[in-house]
Structure 1
Amino acid sequence: MPRLFTAVELPEQVAMHLSLLRGGLPGARWIDKENYHVTLRFIGDIDDRTADEVAAALDRVERRAFTLQISGLDVFSSRGPHALFARVEPTPSLLELQGEQERLMQRLGLKPEPRRFHPHVTLARLRGTSAAEAAQWLAMRGDVRLAPIEVSRFVLYSSRASVGGGPYLVEEAYPLLAA
């Protein structure tokens, strides 16, 4: 039973730049740079037949290539900081691609994604990190703005059930139309 999700990959030089931010944050479990991505739609654990239906539905997506912009770092924090991430600007093209994938998954009978789409690249999982420690770390390193990233495809990833995710395997790649 595969665990699937769709995502935008990051170029090696962008992943390398983000990985250089690692360190100095107590309680951080850093994500390997090979696993950096922007999740579009978490699909979850599904049977092989449904996985084939998902792959076929995604093959019908016809969107234009676009650019992504990473600007700044932040933490997800409900009852304390639990994930450090790079913010991805929610451009219309990105939101439309994600929205189309959400609609396709629901048409296949999958449950709607309960969380609002918040484009980001997870850099670290946090455990026992205080709000003050996270705020201090962000004050020192949080003002990051990278060159625009050209997005010419999205992928369907599979993953093993593991703590923190990864390693991820590209099951299918879906090219976007030339801009």
Structure 2
Amino acid sequence: MMRTFVAIEISNNDILDSIKKIQNEIDIEAKPVNLENLHFTLQFLGEITDEISKKVIDALNTVEFSSFKINLKGVGVFPKPKFPRVIWIGVDENGGNMLIQLAKKVEKVLEPLGFSPDKPFKPHITIFRIKKKVGDITKELDEQKMVDFGIQEITSFKLKKSELTSTGPIYSDLEEIKLRK
């Protein structure tokens, strides 16, 4: 069995540099997400067998979608600044809509295999996970609300495996599905 999810990764180094900068600037007691682990989760699949993963890969390869650009911008928090659990980066409205459409296509091809999303897809990239109670971070976030991280072209998405370790998750690729140009 392996823990799996469908994701879009960030590959633009300028964006990764700006995210690293923000992770260094936001001064809270929390674990920043490693740059190589930054992603949009299109759909979380949970624990699946090798056999099912092959069916998932076949299904994902039927998704028809063209590559598109997104502008990563703004920093937000779930559930709210007074009780932060996750700090994330958002995306422009148009890019967000494209991501939502892609997530819906993924959902549709995986439905016959018995998968359904555990929650509605909201385009965001987690950059901090907060385990402890850190108090109100409204002020820290207000300074970062409008930051523009740059443009990423989305040319593929991936089925990924997540191995949970004591030092954090280790992600590896099971399949990359290229979008049509």
- The runs of 5 or more residues in structure 2 that have no matched partner are none
Distance 1:120 1:74 in 2: 9
In the alignment, which residue of structure 2 is the partner of 1:3?
A: 3
TM-score by length of 2: 0.88
Correspondence list, 1:135-146, <5 A: 135-146=138-149
SS in 1 for 2:180: coil
1:84 deviation in Å? 0.4
Opposite residue 157 of structure 1, the aligned amino acid is: K
CA spacing shift, 1:85–1:164, aligned 2, 3 Å = farther
1:20 deviation in Å? 1.1
In the alignment, which residue of structure 2 is the partner of 1:22?
A: 23
In the alignment, which residue of structure 2 is the partner of 1:124?
A: 128
Distance 2:57 2:158 in 1: 10
SS in 2 for 1:141: coil
Question: For each residue in 1:113-169, what CA deviation from the matched residue of structure 2 results, as whole angstroms up to 9, or x when unmatched?
Answer: 131211111000112121x2x211112223211222111111111111346853211
Opposite residue 2 of structure 1, the aligned amino acid is: M
In the alignment, which residue of structure 1 is the partner of 2:14?
A: 13
Task: Report if the CA contact (8 A) 1:86-1:122 is conserved.
Answer: yes
Task: Report if the CA contact (8 A) 1:157-1:169 is conserved.
Answer: yes
Task: Report if the CA contact (8 A) 1:31-1:164 is conserved.
Answer: no
In the alignment, which residue of structure 2 is the partner of 1:89?
A: 92
CA spacing shift, 1:4–1:15, aligned 2, 3 Å = same
1:8 deviation in Å? 1.1
- Identity percentage over the alignment? 26
Task: Report if the CA contact (8 A) 2:67-2:179 is conserved.
Answer: yes
CA spacing shift, 1:14–1:2, aligned 2, 3 Å = same
Opposite residue 124 of structure 1, the aligned amino acid is: F
CA spacing shift, 1:150–1:103, aligned 2, 3 Å = same
Paired positions, count: 175
Distance 1:51 1:20 in 2: 36
Correspondence list, 1:1-179, <5 A: 1-11=1-11, 12-23=13-24, 24-77=26-79, 80-90=83-93, 91-110=96-115, 112-126=116-130, 127-130=132-135, 132=136, 134-162=137-165, 166-178=169-181
